[in-house]
Amino acid sequence: MYRRFAPRVRLYGRKHLHDEAAAEDLAQQVLLLTIERLRAGEVRSPDEIGSFILGTSRVLADSTRRKARRRESLTAQFHVQQVYAEPLAETSDIEAVARCLHSLAERDRRVLVLTFYAEKTSPEIADELGVTGTVVRVARHRALERLRECVGGHAARKS
């Protein structure tokens, strides 16, 4: 069960909490809670496990977000120096991503960096590049597909 659901809870956490450490904590908490409920016999059917884990992920992620907002507000109020750990750049092959990223068309490269690094939504990117949101979304998923193929090709050649 851990192998099956931990990566999904982690992804859920990264998507909704925008913080790698918080996502890792969420995965630990959710799966511990799930194991407890399974042992107590409160979750029985295999079909229920996914729903239970998603529901628990939502509740705990909401709580984490509320705490983070409170912390941010206190930090702003009292000018407390924020201390945070930079998430690890743990990716299978950053070198290959760099090479493949630079093989893309200039605008596609910019769209990907604006999305995944500057964390801009498509309307914001559209505004910066002077195109429509639809153009950005199409360019983004096509560019990401090309990047995936290219990185996959590198990995296949390496192995």
Backbone angles phi, psi at 143, to 5 degrees: -65, -40
Q: Is 80 in the site for another protein (CB under 8 A)?
A: no
CA-wise closest residue to 31 among 4, 61, 13, 6: 6
Q: How far apart are CA 92 and CA 16, in angstroms?
A: 23
Please identify, using beta-carbon distances, which residue of 12 and 26 lies nearer to another protein. Answer: 12
d(CA 62, CA 127) in angstroms, rounded, equals: 31
Q: How far is the CB of 93 from another protein (least distance, A)?
A: 8
**Closest approach of another protein to the CB of residue 73, in Å:** 20
Identify which of 32, 34, 35 has the alpha carbon closest to the alpha carbon of residue 54.
34
CA distance 18 to 12: 10
Instruction: Give the pair of three-digit tokens for residue 76.
Output: 């702003």
Q: How far is the CB of 28 from another protein (least distance, A)?
A: 17
Site map for another protein, 81-110, x if CB under 8 A? Answer: --------xxxxxx--xx--xx--xxx-xx
> What residues from 37 to 76 belong to the interface with another protein (CB under 8 A)?
46-51, 53-54, 58
Asked if 1 interacts with another protein (CB under 8 A), we say no
Neighbours of 26 (CB within 10 A): 24
Binding region for another protein (CB under 8 A): 4-5, 7-8, 11-12, 14-15, 46-51, 53-54, 58, 89-94, 97-98, 101-102, 105-107, 109-110, 112-122, 124, 128-131, 133, 137-138, 140-141, 144-145, 147-148, 151
